[in-house]
Amino acid sequence: MDQTESLPVLYIRAKSHYDVGHTIGTTFKGWIKDYLDTSNDVKQYKKFYSCDEGSQIVQQYLSSSRKHYPNIMSEIQGMADGAAVNFEDLFLLQLSSEIEFCHLNEILGDQESNQVEKGCTDVLVNRKQCRVIGHNDDWTNDVSSRVYIVHVTILDETDHVTEQFVSFSYPGYLTGFCFGMNQSLVISLNSLSPKRANKMGVPLAILLRSLFAYNSIDECYNVMESKPYGCAYGMTINIASINGTEMCSMEIYPQEGKSEVNIKTIPYEGDLPHEKCYYYHQNFYKNILAEESGPCTGSRLRDKRANQMTSPKTIDDVKAILGDTEDGVEPIYRVPCASHNAPDVKTVATAIFNISERQLYVYRRNPKLCRVSCLTLPFL
């Protein structure tokens, strides 16, 4: 092989959220500590936390998270204990969207912000012979070498399964921040950058982690609407029902009291003959009129290129779109390049959720050029 591919998978059976986090922290201790010590992003988060206004914002997020999601907060504590790192440092990672895309500019100014368009690209296809969500997970090189999959089962005192899910994860981040699935839903994400955050809301990463406990799109809608406190920041959540035909792209815009949530339904082939049964989403608001922190130039270029290509009818079509490198400024499949809009960002992994065949394929190289995936997992 020209390039070695690897993606460790950690299977966990635990009786508590704390134990889930502790097992992840213990297993990936080296990666988590190295990332916290060397990441330029983490240095910015710590600088933000060290100033008075930043500290006050973090403490508010900490309070709302402990009040509304104590189990997930115990998962972060378990990960910190297992990895032998400070809880506060890991909690700052969970605030990466809010800090990097919003609060750094508010407090430290544009020149101090390290914001780049990291983002992702998603292709949703809801055809009779091809129900697929395809996802490019784009981030920086310092994350790329430290990613992993976790397969989690949480049991109660009688050994009844209370949560079971699979999630692609970054070092030190909660599960649910990238792409994953439980027994009922496939979920992938596109980061967004609204200009303002809801400082009284629950941080985005906490809410995303909580989605694995739910089994319907309606339940996910209610979680992200988050009455009466609202989500702290914005996100797109692409969701498909595994056992039905529902598929949607859900945009969230942060507001106090409750979040604005817009659902774009991708109709099942034949149900609405005059509407497309496929859809693309990147890292800008398509369906909510939102004030964003930047022009989202790269995301719009990826969207334009996807719409120029043949409409997807098969998994190979999805792979061709996600593996496209045509655009010289911001290709859909991203590699570090000085001439690119975000020169240090790369496609860390490509996920193909083949819902029709109940298989997850994960690629660590360009999926258009790969005959086989790096990892294949059956659905739960």
The answer on 165 and 52 residing in a single domain is: no
Query: Which of the listed residues 112, 130, 154 is the one where a domain comes to its end?
Result: 112
Look at residue 43 and tell me if it is in a domain: yes
The answer on 141 and 99 residing in a single domain is: no
The answer on 127 and 100 residing in a single domain is: no
Look at residue 159 and tell me if it is in a domain: yes
CA atoms in the 13 A half-sphere facing the CB of 120: 24
- CB within 8 A of 43, min separation 6: which ones? none
Distance CA 170, CA 82 (A): 16
Ranges under pLDDT 70 in the chain: 1-3, 109-116
Query: Which of the listed residues 112, 139, 154 is the one where a domain comes to its end?
Result: 112
For position 162, which CATH number holds? 3.60.60.10
Distance CA 321, CA 338 (A): 23
Look at residue 4 and tell me if it is in a domain: no
Q: Structure tokens of 214?
A: 């739910």
Q: Residue 341 has what pLDDT?
A: 84
Contact 142, 35 (CB under 8 A): yes
Cα end-to-end distance, the chain, whole Å = 31
CA atoms in the 13 A half-sphere facing the CB of 293: 27
As a whole number of Å, the CA-based R_g of the chain is 19
Domain span including residue 98: 16-112
The answer on 293 and 361 residing in a single domain is: yes
The answer on 231 and 189 residing in a single domain is: yes
DSSP secondary structure letters along 266-330: -PPTTTSTTS-SEEEE-SS-SSS---BSS--HHHHHHHHHHHHSPPP-SHHHHHHHHT----SSS
The answer on 138 and 103 residing in a single domain is: no
Distance CA 30, CA 301 (A): 37
Look at residue 198 and tell me if it is in a domain: yes
Distance CA 265, CA 356 (A): 18
Q: Structure tokens of 110?
A: 């544009």
Look at residue 10 and tell me if it is in a domain: no
The answer on 154 and 48 residing in a single domain is: no
Other residues' Cβ atoms within 10 Å of the Cβ of residue 368? 18
The answer on 297 and 245 residing in a single domain is: yes
Give rounded-to-5 percent helix, strand, coil for the chain: 35, 25, 40
Which DSSP helix (H) or strand (E) runs through 351?
A: strand 345-354
The alpha-helical segments, DSSP class H, found in the chain are 17-27, 29-38, 40-50, 52-68, 70-83, 87-94, 96-98, 104-107, 141-144, 204-210, 217-225, 297-308, 315-322
The answer on 136 and 63 residing in a single domain is: no
Distance CA 175, CA 180 (A): 8
Look at residue 164 and tell me if it is in a domain: yes
Burial class for 265, CB neighbours closer than 10 Å (0-12, 13-18, 19+): middle
Query: Which of the listed residues 58, 92, 112 is the one where a domain comes to its end?
Result: 112
Look at residue 30 and tell me if it is in a domain: yes
Q: Residue 237 has what pLDDT?
A: 98
Contact 259, 231 (CB under 8 A): yes
Contact 104, 116 (CB under 8 A): no
Torsion of CA 276, 252, 220, 226, to 10 degrees: -160
The answer on 250 and 177 residing in a single domain is: yes
The answer on 325 and 364 residing in a single domain is: yes
Look at residue 7 and tell me if it is in a domain: no
Contact 238, 351 (CB under 8 A): no
Q: Residue 116 has what pLDDT?
A: 65
Which DSSP helix (H) or strand (E) runs through 250?
A: strand 247-253
What does the longest C-alpha to C-alpha distance in the chain come to?
57
How many domains in the chain? Answer: 2
The answer on 132 and 67 residing in a single domain is: no
